[in-house]
Structure 1
Amino acid sequence: MNDTVHLYLVMAIRNPAFQASAGEEHQVFLKDLIARGLLDMTGPFTDGTGGAYLLRAADLETATQIAHGDPLHVSGSSTLTVHEWRVRRFP
């Protein structure tokens, strides 16, 4: 079993039929990810078109499964894409 954790960038782009209630439910979803130790960081785009978050997961399939549980995706309010991200951090 591989216990390696990778980082996955989830980009959420708002659709024309964006529902404010999905945005509120999305915040609850993110709090749950924090409680489960799966969320590294999150934030909206300053232009209001959506946002992104960084998930910790074992593989792309798991990360995609988690992201597809996001109320933004479930409601069709946003289009989510998931990308494995090899982050480089500098001092």
Structure 2
Amino acid sequence: MIHAAFLTIIDQEKNMAHRPAHLEYLSRLFDQGKVIMAGPFTDGKGGLVLYKTETVEEARELAEQDPVVLHGARTLELREWKPLQFPIELA
């Protein structure tokens, strides 16, 4: 299962303070195969993390342990995502 975590910045000061730990956390999860992609939105208001987990509970636990979420720098919206398989065959 793939889950998209939308992380909106709500406290810029806390965000800057916890950003290094956030990036380290995501790198560690990437090495474990739990994060497949992540990055900031170009408007500077937050970012997106794609988690690959067996359950929504595991994805939520990982997302909630992200230092920027844990310390109240960003809100978390977690949604299951189903990527399209290309090429798409139209019947």
Same fold (TM over 0.5): yes
Task: Pick from 1, 8, 16 the counterpart of residue 3 of structure 2.
Answer: 8
For normalisation by structure 2, the TM-score amounts to 0.87
Q: Percent identity?
A: 30
Task: Pick from 46, 53, 62 the counterpart of residue 58 of structure 2.
Answer: 62
| Alpha-carbon distance in 2 for matches of 1:87, 1:23 | 28
Alignment deviations for residues 12-55 of structure 1 (CA, whole Å, 9 cap, x no partner): 00003542121111000011111111111111000000000100
Deviation of 1:84 after TM superposition, in Å, equals 0.6
In structure 2, runs of 5+ residues without a counterpart are none
How many residues align structurally? 86
How do residues 64-83 of structure 1 correspond to structure 2 at under 5 angstroms? 64-83=60-79
Runs in 1 of length 4+ with deviation above 2 angstroms?
Answer: none
Deviation of 1:82 after TM superposition, in Å, equals 0.9
Alignment deviations for residues 57-82 of structure 1 (CA, whole Å, 9 cap, x no partner): 11111100010010011110000111
| Alpha-carbon distance in 2 for matches of 1:90, 1:21 | 41
Tell me how large the CA RMSD over aligned residues is: 1.3
User: Is the CA contact 1:18–1:78 (under 8 Å) kept in the aligned structure 2?
Assistant: no
For normalisation by structure 1, the TM-score amounts to 0.87
| Alpha-carbon distance in 2 for matches of 1:61, 1:35 | 20
Higher mean Cα deviation, 66-75 or 10-19? 10-19
